[in-house]
Amino acid sequence: MTEQKILIKLAYYYYKLGLTQNEIAGRFGMSRQRVNRLLKKCRDEGIVEIRIAGFSESYIELEGELESRYGLRQVIITPEVDGDQLYDALGQAAAEYIIQNAGPQKTIGISWGSTMYKMAMKLPALGPFPEMRVVQMVGNMGQLDRDHQPDEVTRLLASKLGASPVLLYAPVYMKNKVAKFTLIHEESIKSVLDMMPECEMVFLSVSGIENNYTYFNKTVIEETFIEELRDKKAVGNICLRYFNAEGECVDAELHKLEIGIDGITLKNIPNVVCAAGGPVKYQAILGALNGGFINTLITDKATADYLKKQM
């Protein structure tokens, strides 16, 4: 029998009839190790071509490339959509991630915004997880829509999980550093801030500088703070901690007024799950990846393609 026929027959026995490598070795009178090498040769020479149904539609290869390049635990890519549909798609994917991963964690954190609200809304009732705590990671935000406020998103997620919400009863920014110092040493605030490093998983999004421009106009924050961030080449923020294109947190006066998780603590969380996408967030997402803020990324196909081009 020619080697070509041996290879074809081996492939038939293994892939079609489902025989084990040991069974094939017995039939051919060769070692199992040789069978293994010949089966590999079948693939290398194109005698066997493996096709995974749905592979091209599921973005598995692109996800794997991004995971390897950016050192991520997992990348989940949704189809390319625009406008509010993007929030829906990312929120749905993030909700499915929670369904698959919620359970053993004792403490999880949640940020704010449209994507986090959509995630919590699309999550079915799970649990109950009576020992789980859902911690609000940043203070509340003035005139921001009620549904997107950090405390409201925290309550909603906790209710879906049958968990206890841990709310941060403070504004995200104080008027001055003295007022902030006084407030963060109040026991009700301090206890929440002290709990943040205990989070095993955090769900959040990222934003660019201009994404938050409208928000800042609705609060007591002055335009000079935004100008400082631009001058220092900030490209985005994660939990309102601003960073540059290399992912380095910028030394901004705004951070000295903020009440919420800081960048160092965030980087020490075992699994930071970021759901974000769209052209206005490209640079912010890339900067957050470069800075090592993210462990799991949920994004859309167009954003994933952009990130691949930066590799």
Query: CB-based burial of residue 292 (10 Å sphere; 0-12 exposed, 13-18 middle, 19+ buried)?
Result: middle
42-63 mean pLDDT: 79
Q: What is the pTM of this model?
A: 0.82
Show me where the domains of the chain are located. 3-44, 58-309
Percent of the chain with pLDDT over 90: 66
Cβ(34)–Cβ(25) under 8 Å?
yes
Q: Which CATH class is domain 58-309?
A: alpha beta
Cβ(57)–Cβ(78) under 8 Å?
no
Adjacency order of strands within the sheet including 201-204: 74-78, 296-300, 271-275, 201-204, 107-110, 133-136, 164-166
pLDDT in the model for residue 148: 80
Q: Could you tell me the sign of the dihedral formed by the alpha carbons of 61, 66, 68, 72, in that order?
A: negative
| Of 40-44, 135-139, 155-159, 270-274, the least confident | 40-44
pLDDT in the model for residue 264: 93
pLDDT greater than 90 at residue 297: yes
pLDDT in the model for residue 146: 73
pLDDT in the model for residue 141: 82
Q: What backbone phi and psi angles, to 5 degrees, belong to 230?
A: -65, -45
| Of 14-23, 127-136, 162-171, 218-227, the least confident | 218-227
pLDDT in the model for residue 219: 53
Cβ(188)–Cβ(155) under 8 Å?
no
pLDDT greater than 60 at residue 282: yes
User: Does the 3-44 domain belong in CATH 3.30.160?
Assistant: no
pLDDT in the model for residue 193: 97
Q: Beta strands 296-300 and 74-78: pairing type?
A: parallel
Q: Could you tell me the sign of the dihedral formed by the alpha carbons of 58, 61, 63, 64, in that order?
A: positive
pLDDT greater than 60 at residue 150: yes
pLDDT in the model for residue 212: 58
Q: Which of 19-33, 138-152, 155-169, 204-218 has the highest mean pLDDT?
A: 155-169
Beta-carbon contacts of 203 under 8 Å, excluding residues fewer than 6 positions away, are 94, 98, 108, 109, 110, 111, 116, 119, 157, 273, 275
Q: What backbone phi and psi angles, to 5 degrees, belong to 145?
A: -50, 140
Cβ(199)–Cβ(124) under 8 Å?
no
pLDDT tens for each residue of 220-263: 566 788 888 889 999 999 999 999 999 999 999 889 999 999 99
The helix or strand, by DSSP H or E, that contains position 308, with its residue range, turns out to be helix 301-309
Q: Which amino acid is at 202?
A: V
pLDDT tens for each residue of 59-98: 888 999 999 999 999 999 999 888 789 999 999 999 999 9
pLDDT greater than 80 at residue 42: yes
Q: Which two tokens stand for residue 119?
A: 């995630």
Cβ(260)–Cβ(240) under 8 Å?
yes
Rg of the chain (C-alpha set): 25
11 confidence band (pLDDT: 50, 70, 90)? confident
pLDDT tens for each residue of 119-134: 999 999 987 888 999 9
Q: Which amino acid is at 197?
A: P
